[in-house]
Structure 1
């Protein structure tokens, strides 16, 4: 009984630690410039929507939203195609080749993306990917490949080599088995991985900051930095932009979180 009470109190404390900053951010949207510092925890006096109008009045947020949506959709689609093919190949290879290939991609999880910033920038500049949304898509997909391969390989292993071997015996080619068997059977894993990737790519700031320079090509997280002044920053406007940027992915994750949890669980299964 005592242990249960301690556990509930710990969860309550953790919930308060999460809810506190969210509350401050939520009410700050409707406060005037000085209201946040005068009374951070109080209700807006008066309530105002000038922060929302300032967001759309000072910056072309619609353009930035389309940039983020395009980059996110293209990156996730390319990532799912390539990583599912790699995961299928790992399962089909078996023996020593499959685990060795899986270990190669899993090793990529160890290296933080910040460590490779300079090589990425130099290579992107050399290939002409700098300040190109298409280049941002390719670089983002490459950086996330270890994560998606790790998750999808766990799901592909659940399909079972016996099913694929039976189809191969009946004369099905590798592409047919991949497209007509592996992909439909791994649909929950693809949804889980897509949910995970959507959140990461949409909220990514590092890669756009590293590769994008033109103002018309900014993504939403990078565009939010435009509201930060050199000496003075209007934090209610800045926090409004943060909420508007995070809201689409928050709603998506709420609806698809069961696929996300399933993807994490299956990605940890050992073959």
Structure 2
């Protein structure tokens, strides 16, 4: 392949990449732009930029609905769930990947079964369980469900990553006097940051955007998360779309921040692994 053909191929690849970026970002830009419009502007010129940029819609959003409560509940549920998933799945994956007992394969298969069976199939037993535990209309019901549903895929990802790490690192650490937990915490855990970044992104987005379980287990308005709480903006006869787009814009910001932070951690982990 000559230089001219190579340059042409590279130009086509960049053009397709930029086109994909534009297609992916266009709905987000349209959502943000619509949050500054009135209902009349949205219906008259849905694809145009707003005539003026004002934060009045966002101020009105905080006055019309308890959006602060919705946001706080979503943050508590999502962050707590992600932390619990990361901690428990990392320890379980370390055990499955590094300890060979007769029941290790069965334990790993048990986690894989959790990937095959949708948790929503057990909504009735889950509802009865939460009722018996007194966790209905409580954020802990969502936290426990998200943690249980997120651990299988997380263990699957982290186990594969643990198995790629050289065993010599652990042997050197044990020679220096480290026990199992110290090997896990000080030696291996910093090296699996790329996989942890993936786990954080997957589970945070899943918990943040979930509509089904908060609708079933939460009845009190002050405890609703953003996806369910935003339903109050849909009126029986009319809907204030500008308020709805403003709420969607605010609810998307934490996901974007988490994605950027986890992506940076992901790249730093890859670079550290390459250097080592």
Distance 1:97 1:167, change over 3 A: farther
Instruction: Normalising by structure 1, report the TM-score.
Output: 0.83
How far apart are the structure 2 equivalents of 1:117 and 1:100? 26
8 Å Cα contact 1:28/1:44 also seen in 2: yes
Query: Which structure ranks higher in relative contact order (CA pairs < 8 Å, sequence separation ≥ 6)?
Result: 2
- The residue that corresponds to 2:234 in the other structure is 228
Equivalent of 1:77 in 80, 83, 97 = 83
The alignment's C-alpha RMSD in Å is 2.9
Deviation string for 1:100-139 (max 9, x for gaps)? 4323212322333433333332322232221111221111
How far apart are the structure 2 equivalents of 1:180 and 1:242? 40
8 Å Cα contact 2:194/2:266 also seen in 1: no
Equivalent of 1:215 in 221, 238, 246 = 221
- The residue that corresponds to 1:139 in the other structure is 145
Distance 1:216 1:76, change over 3 A: same
Query: Where does the alignment leave 5 or more consecutive residues of structure 1 unmatched?
Result: 265-271
Distance 1:246 1:159, change over 3 A: same
- The residue that corresponds to 1:92 in the other structure is 98
Deviates further, 165-174 or 154-163:
165-174
- The residue that corresponds to 1:194 in the other structure is 200
Instruction: Normalising by structure 2, report the TM-score.
Output: 0.81
Deviation string for 1:125-162 (max 9, x for gaps)? 23222111122111110011112112221232233334
8 Å Cα contact 2:192/2:269 also seen in 1: no
How far apart are the structure 1 equivalents of 2:267 and 2:156? 14
| SS of equivalent to 2:115 | coil
Aligned length: 264
Deviates further, 113-122 or 32-41:
113-122
Distance 1:263 1:122, change over 3 A: farther
8 Å Cα contact 1:27/1:44 also seen in 2: yes
- 1:36 Cα deviation from its structure 2 partner: 0.6
